[in-house]
């Protein structure tokens, strides 16, 4: 598919929808429809043809792309320059777009060490609910001008506007990688993780799955080559675990209608307080729980670890998939929503029942 700028056409489509009082469902590659959020009954506005890398400055480690650009395309462009998107967004068989990655906030195993989507976003252009094109942030890492609406879009599931262009920070690609593993139950794995994160070793992945504790270390070829000696109790293991976690195709994560909750909590939270019967990732900070819980129950469990819960594989759900914000926080969110989308055109109900 050819690169093209459809900003003007997308703006006109939003204006037309507003004049006809029609809600819109913003669709990129449609790769995460079943994975995140609630059902949305708006008219589909495709964004996937609005694509292409606008600017890429490897020496500045900054890349700007249109929102419909496939993540796989950005991965190829940055890899050619010895760089990468450090939060490891999923590609979903090349269907995932960078706009969808920002809207969902999906991040891979390196999240605790390399940062997530929010840390990578420098600025963006978007179309608001009036059909106006707005710009927030910039294209330099030390930009602090204006309101931080750019990062506010991360995880908003398209409810705050139609993203048209995104500027991102990229990082140098590690020269070497080492994956280690040892047999362990979940509780013991958490104890080991708490001990390991205090050590000055270049971890970029730490998870427990199916009776195995996995570690990933990255760095220079020379630096990585001697790291196994620092962890003699571990054995070298297959590195495919990280790709499976990144692409959400690990068997333990299931798919479709399976009941799966992602609980993001304080890493040191004991297992009996916030359990996991699928996978523990992010050195204990993310725990996948396969239970047929409602949102209130799941959030109650996550709260024991000072965290929050989010239901996955929920694209057609009409029930809450994330706990509603507290009253004061919710009031602020609604004011922001009204300022950017006064008529509630974008993805109504996708994030919250009335948002």
Domain extent listing, the chain: 7-172+332-340, 176-246, 251-312
Cα 249–Cα 77–Cα 142 angle in degrees, nearest 5 = 100
The pLDDT value given to residue 256: 57
pTM: 0.94
The pLDDT value given to residue 313: 86
The pLDDT value given to residue 141: 56
d(CA 131, CA 301): 41
Q: What are the pLDDT tens digits along the chain (355 aa)?
A: 789 999 999 999 999 999 999 999 999 999 998 888 999 989 999 999 999 999 999 999 999 999 999 999 999 999 999 999 999 999 999 999 999 999 999 999 999 999 999 999 999 999 999 999 999 987 765 555 555 789 999 999 999 999 999 999 999 999 999 999 999 999 999 999 999 999 999 999 999 999 999 999 999 998 898 899 999 999 999 999 999 999 999 999 876 556 899 999 999 999 999 999 899 999 999 999 999 999 999 999 999 999 999 999 877 788 899 988 889 999 999 999 999 999 999 999 999 988 8
Residues 6+ apart with CB under 8 A from 317: 38, 39, 311
d(CA 61, CA 223): 23
The pLDDT value given to residue 78: 98
Buried b (16+ CB within 10 A) or exposed e, 281-315: bbbbbbbbbbeebebeebbebbbbbebbbbbbbbb
Instruction: Spell out the CATH class of 7-172+332-340.
Output: alpha beta
The pLDDT value given to residue 34: 85
The pLDDT value given to residue 118: 94
Give me the DSSP letters along 262-330: EEE--TT--TTTS--SSEEEGGGTEEEE-----HHHHHHHHHTTT-EEEEES-TT--S-SBPPPPHHHH
- 96 contacts 90 by C-beta, under 8 angstroms: yes
The pLDDT value given to residue 142: 53
The pLDDT value given to residue 246: 96
**45 C-beta neighbours (distance < 10 Å), count:** 20
CATH architecture of residue range(s) 176-246:
2-Layer Sandwich (3.30)
Buried b (16+ CB within 10 A) or exposed e, 125-141: bbbbbebebeebbbbee
């Amino acid at each position: 598919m050819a690169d093209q700028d459809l900003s003007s056409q997308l703006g006109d489509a939003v204006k037309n929808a507003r004049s006809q009082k029609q809600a819109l469902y913003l669709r990129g590659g449609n790769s995460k429809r079943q994975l995140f959020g609630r059902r949305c009954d708006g008219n589909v506005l495709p964004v996937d043809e609005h694509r292409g890398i606008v600017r890429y400055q490897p020496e500045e480690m900054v890349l700007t792309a249109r929102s419909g650009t496939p993540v796989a395309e950005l991965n190829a462009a940055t890899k050619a320059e010895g760089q990468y998107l450090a939060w490891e967004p999923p590609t979903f068989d090349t269907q995932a777009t960078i706009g969808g990655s920002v809207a969902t906030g999906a991040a891979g195993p390196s999240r605790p060490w390399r940062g997530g989507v929010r840390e990578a976003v420098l600025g963006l252009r978007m179309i608001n609910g009036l059909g106006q094109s707005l710009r927030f942030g910039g294209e330099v890492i030390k930009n602090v001008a204006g309101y931080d609406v750019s990062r506010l879009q991360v995880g908003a599931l398209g409810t705050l506007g139609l993203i048209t262009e995104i500027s991102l920070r990229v990082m140098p690609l590690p020269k070497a990688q080492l994956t280690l593993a040892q047999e362990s139950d979940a509780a013991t794995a958490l104890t080991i993780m708490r001990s390991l994160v205090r050590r000055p070793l270049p971890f970029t992945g730490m998870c427990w799955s199916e009776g195995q504790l996995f570690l990933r270390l990255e760095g220079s070829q020379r630096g990585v080559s001697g790291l196994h000696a620092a962890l003699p109790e571990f054995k070298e293991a297959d590195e495919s675990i990280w790709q499976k976690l990144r692409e959400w195709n690990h068997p333990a994560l299931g798919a479709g209608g399976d009941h799966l909750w992602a609980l993001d909590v304080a890493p040191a939270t004991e297992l009996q307080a916030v359990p996991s019967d699928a996978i523990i990732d992010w050195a204990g900070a993310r725990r996948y729980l396969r239970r047929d819980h409602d949102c209130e129950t799941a959030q109650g469990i996550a709260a024991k670890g000072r965290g929050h819960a989010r239901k996955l594989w929920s694209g057609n759900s009409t029930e809450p998939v994330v706990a509603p914000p507290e009253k004061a926080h919710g009031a602020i969110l609604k004011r922001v929503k009204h300022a950017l989308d006064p008529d509630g055109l974008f993805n109504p109900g996708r994030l919250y029942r009335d948002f």
